Chains A and B, each alone.
Chain A
Amino acid sequence: MKNVDILIIGGGPAGLAAGLSAKRNGVENVLILERDKCLGGILNQCIHNGFGLHTFKEELTGPEYADRYVTMVNTEAVPYMLNTMVCDISVADDGDKIVTAMNKENGMMKIKASAVILAMGCRERPRGALSIPGSRPAGIFSAGTAQYYVNMEGRMPGKKIVILGSGDIGLIMARRLKLEGAEVLCVAEIRPKSGGLKRHIVQCLEDFDIPLYLNTTVTCIHGKSRVEGVTLSQVDENMNHIKGTEKFVECDTLLLSCGLIPENELTTAAGASMDPKTGGPVVDSTLQCSIPGLFACGNVLHVHELVDHVSAEAERAGAFAANYVKGR
Chain B
Amino acid sequence: MVKTVERDVELTCIRCPKGCALTVHVNPDNTATVTGNSCPKGEEYGRTEVLNPVRTVTSSVRIAGTKNGVVSVKTKGDIPKGKIFECMDALKGISVEAPVKIGDVIIENVADTGIDVVATANFE
Contacts and interface: CB of A to CB of B under 8 A. Distances in A.
B64 to A, nearest CB: 12
Contact of A179 (B11, B62, B88, B102): B88
Interface residues of B, number: 28
Given A47-B60, A179-B84, A202-B12, A154 B17 contact: no
Given A47-B121, A49-B58, A180-B59, 9 more contacts: A44-B121, A47-B120, A53-B17, A61-B120, A63-B72, A63-B120, A67-B122, A154-B70, A198-B12
Contacts of A59: 15-16, 56
Nearest to A52: B16
Contact of A153 (B68, B102, B121): B68
Query: Nearest 10 CB-CB pairs, A to B?
Result: A47-B72, A63-B121, A198-B19, A199-B14, A154-B70, A153-B68, A61-B120, A53-B16, A198-B12, A199-B19
Given A44-B121, A67-B121, A151 B11 contact: no
A151 to B, nearest CB: 6
Nearest to A48: B58
B74 A61 contact: yes
B83 interface: no
B87 to A, nearest CB: 9
Contact of B17 (A44, A151, A180, A306): A306
Interface in A49-106: 49-50, 53, 59-61, 63-64, 67
Given A47-B60, A64-B120, A153 B70 contact: yes
Contacts of B69: 154
Contact of B14 (A47, A61, A64, A202): A202
29 contacts: A47-B59, A47-B74, A47-B120, A48-B58, A49-B56, A53-B16, A53-B17, A59-B15, A150-B60, A151-B70, A151-B72, A153-B70, A154-B62, A154-B69, A154-B70, A179-B57, A179-B84, A179-B85, A179-B88, A198-B12, A199-B12, A199-B13, A199-B16, A201-B12, A202-B11, A202-B14, A203-B55, A207-B81, A305-B17
A152 interface: yes
A152 B14 contact: no
Nearest to A201: B12
A197 interface: yes
A193 interface: no
Contacts of A326: none
Nearest to A43: B121
Nearest to A50: B17
A153 B57 CA distance: 19
A49 B74 contact: yes
A50 B68 contact: no
Given A179-B59, A199-B19, A154 B120 contact: no
B14 A151 contact: no
Contacts of B120: 47, 60-61, 63-64
Contacts of B102: 63-64, 67
A166 to B, nearest CB: 14
Interface in B68-120: 68-70, 72, 74, 81, 84-85, 88, 102, 120
A155 interface: yes
Interface in A12-53: 44, 47-50, 53
A203 B14 contact: yes
